[in-house]
Amino acid sequence: MPFESKYSKESIIDAAFEIARNDGFSAITARSVAKKIKGSVAPIYFNFDHIDDLIHAVVEKVFKISQDILLEQTSDNLYENMGKAGFVFANRYPVFFRELVLLPNPYLASYEQTEEAMLEGLKADPLVSKLTLKERKMLIFKVKALQIGFQTMIANHQLPDFMTQKDVEDLFIELGSDLAQLELYKKENKK
């Protein structure tokens, strides 16, 4: 009769998720997960060949949560929704934000892959579509730097007392629009 575990694959992922949520992905070990589930390491290795497989399953869960947060946003503007979702994620999951955005890691797509997806989406924006490819790339870089700065302040609880997360979201949208208009202004005044 084959071994059956009273611990499901999902319950092991959930336990590892909670460990990583508090202490980061490197805190996921067979022993730390076994302690969390109040069991041995056997169910972990029954469900996962290597601990890295479990870590990747947790990362996939984090990405799914990130996508769900994006789907919760209600603006008609995809980039506004992406910005707001990033702020919500940084606020709810500061450890994951720091590990996935601020530290080198093998989990996120390269900047170039992210940039390509954003460039594709910007084709429909009437203001930005007037910019050259190089100008659009520079705009994306500037907005990304702005967003990461705000997300870092949110994740590290460094917002000034007079600002709410909603205030930051509104400021981000305003500054993103200002950056787009400034790029267009610079283009028009080069002529």
Any idea which of 13-17, 69-73, 94-98 has the lowest mean pLDDT?
A: 69-73
pTM for the full model?
0.82
Instruction: Indicate the pLDDT class of residue 156, thresholds 50, 70 and 90.
Output: very high
- One-character DSSP codes across 5-62: -SS-HHHHHHHHHHHHHHH-GGG--HHHHHHHHTS-SHHHHHH-SSHHHHHHHHHHHH
Find, among 176, 17, 20, 14, the residue nearest to 87 by Cα.
176
Cβ(65)–Cβ(93) below 8 Å:
yes
**122 contacts: CB under 8 Å, gap ≥ 6:** 79, 128, 129, 136, 140
Its CATH class, for the domain covering 7-62, is: mainly alpha
pLDDT in tens, 35-90: 999 999 999 999 999 999 999 999 999 999 998 998 898 887 777 888 899 999 99
Any idea which of 1-10, 12-21, 169-178 has the lowest mean pLDDT?
A: 1-10
The three-state DSSP-derived secondary structure of 134-165 is HHHHHHHHHHHHHHHHHHHHHHCCCCCCCCCH
pLDDT in tens, 107-142: 877 667 667 777 776 777 777 778 888 888 888 888
